[in-house]
């Protein structure tokens, strides 16, 4: 926390350009227009910094070269405590774009009225996608999955009427065999209406579960409009616990992003977002800085 406060203090004093120049090989000084690559960030990655200094944190992302953002702060019609138009103005003024938002539809279901409010609020802020990001541990049974997906299809219809594509973001538990059934392949994909629900594939969690994203793209072409880019330090046998300590900066681990992204047209990918569940182990802006540098100098070139 001390390191983070000192970093934020330095940034507030106007020294961010010096920090970035030292860590990013001069890109922050204008040598590379990173925004032309359209790299996005899932804002869950910097959640503590956002809580401490929303506008300052977003400016740092823009200065690093992030073009797009995916939100993780919707509640009751507001985003990060601000009205949709208020938050959107901050993003617009930083030459960034809101592409997507993570928002939860609980297992108990969502009323159509609440779903309409959710859709209208997201339409007002201008997102293209609204994503279901998680299923609570107690709800990970086959019949519960089926009921939830039925609700998500209804939400997808409401979102579609508002001009928004609904979607689902995986972790690794969806690939765990339950009495001969692998939920992601045997329940999620077949039960989801492909016109109403797209898939946001998290490459870290899928890889942790022993899946090959390229094989997934080839088997289910066009189903994956969004990707989460996060790297892992080691290849291990598939496991299904929530294990975040193996997350590392994009390009600093063992996932072959070039191979995966070479198949993005088959997958139907339209947008990608960097994410780090661990917030860079206390240094979120150093982590997201390293990720966008690796992407724009080694992976996307």
Query: Residue 142 belongs to a domain with what CATH number?
Result: 3.20.20.150
DSSP, collapsed to helix, strand or coil, labels residue 132 as strand
Of 293, 213, 286, which is closest to residue 45 (Cα–Cα)?
Answer: 286
Q: What's the domain count of the chain?
A: 1
Q: Which long-range contacts (CB under 8 A, 24 or more apart) does 248-255 make?
A: 249/276, 249/280, 249/287, 249/290, 249/291, 249/294, 250/274, 250/290, 250/291, 250/294, 250/295, 250/299, 251/290, 251/291, 251/294, 251/295, 251/298, 251/299, 252/290, 252/294, 255/203, 255/204, 255/207, 255/231
The pLDDT score that the predictor gives to residue 99 is 98
Do residues 156 and 166 touch, judged by C-beta distance below 8 A?
Answer: yes
State pTM to two decimals: 0.88
User: Mind listing the pLDDT tens digit for each residue in 61-112?
Assistant: 999 999 999 999 999 899 999 999 999 999 999 999 999 999 987 766 677 7
Is residue 16 in a domain? no
Q: Residue 28 pLDDT > 80, yes or no? A: no
**Average pLDDT in the chain:** 89
Is residue 6 in a domain? no
Is residue 87 in a domain? yes
Is residue 17 in a domain? no
User: Which residue segment(s) compose the domain that 103 sits in?
Assistant: 34-299
Is residue 94 in a domain? yes
Q: Residue 183 pLDDT > 90, yes or no? A: yes
> Any idea which of 20-24, 53-57, 93-97, 191-195 has the lowest mean pLDDT?
20-24
The pLDDT score that the predictor gives to residue 14 is 38
The whole-angstrom distance between residue 201's C-alpha and the CA centroid of its chain comes to: 9
Is residue 99 in a domain? yes
Q: Residue 223 pLDDT > 70, yes or no? A: yes
The pLDDT score that the predictor gives to residue 107 is 64
Q: What is the C-alpha separation between 41 and 43, in angstroms, rounded?
A: 6
> Any idea which of 10-14, 34-38, 80-84, 146-150 has the lowest mean pLDDT?
10-14
Q: From start to end of the chain, where are the E strands?
A: 40-42, 68-71, 74-75, 78-79, 97-102, 129-132, 165-169, 197-202, 226-229, 231-232, 247-248, 271-274
Taking residues 115-131, what's their average pLDDT?
Answer: 96
Is residue 220 in a domain? yes
Is residue 177 in a domain? yes
Q: What is the C-alpha separation between 108 and 151, in angstroms, rounded?
A: 9
User: Mind listing the pLDDT tens digit for each residue in 253-290?
Assistant: 999 999 999 999 999 999 999 999 999 888 999 999 99
The pLDDT score that the predictor gives to residue 20 is 38
């Amino acid at each position: 926390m001390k390191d983070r406060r000192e970093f934020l203090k330095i940034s507030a004093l106007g020294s961010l350009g010096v920090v970035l120049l030292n860590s990013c090989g001069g890109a922050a000084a204008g040598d590379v227009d990173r925004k032309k690559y359209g790299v996005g960030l899932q804002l869950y990655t910097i959640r503590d910094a956002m809580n401490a200094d929303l506008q300052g944190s977003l400016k740092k992302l823009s200065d690093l070269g992030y073009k797009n953002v995916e939100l993780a702060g919707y509640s009751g019609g507001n985003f990060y405590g601000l009205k949709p138009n208020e938050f959107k103005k901050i993003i617009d003024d930083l030459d960034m774009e809101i592409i997507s938002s993570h928002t939860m539809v609980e297992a108990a279901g969502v009323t159509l009225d609440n779903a309409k409010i959710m859709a209208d609020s997201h339409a007002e802020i201008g997102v293209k996608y609204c994503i279901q990001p998680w299923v609570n541990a107690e709800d990970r049974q086959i019949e519960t999955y089926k009921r939830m997906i039925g609700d998500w299809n209804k939400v997808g219809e409401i979102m579609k009427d508002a001009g928004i594509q609904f979607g689902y973001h995986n972790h690794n538990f969806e690939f765990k065999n339950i009495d001969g059934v692998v939920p992601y392949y045997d329940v999620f994909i077949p039960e989801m209406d492909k016109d109403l629900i797209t898939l946001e594939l998290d490459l870290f969690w899928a890889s942790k579960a022993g899946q090959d994203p390229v094989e997934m793209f080839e088997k289910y072409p066009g189903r994956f409009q969004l990707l989460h880019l996060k790297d892992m330090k080691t290849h291990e046998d598939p496991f299904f616990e929530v294990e975040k300590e193996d997350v590392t900066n994009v390009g600093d681990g063992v996932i072959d992003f070039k191979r995966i992204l070479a198949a993005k047209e088959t997958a139907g990918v339209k947008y990608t977002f960097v994410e780090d569940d661990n917030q860079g182990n206390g240094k979120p802006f150093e982590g997201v800085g390293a990720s966008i540098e690796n992407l724009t100098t080694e992976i996307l070139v």
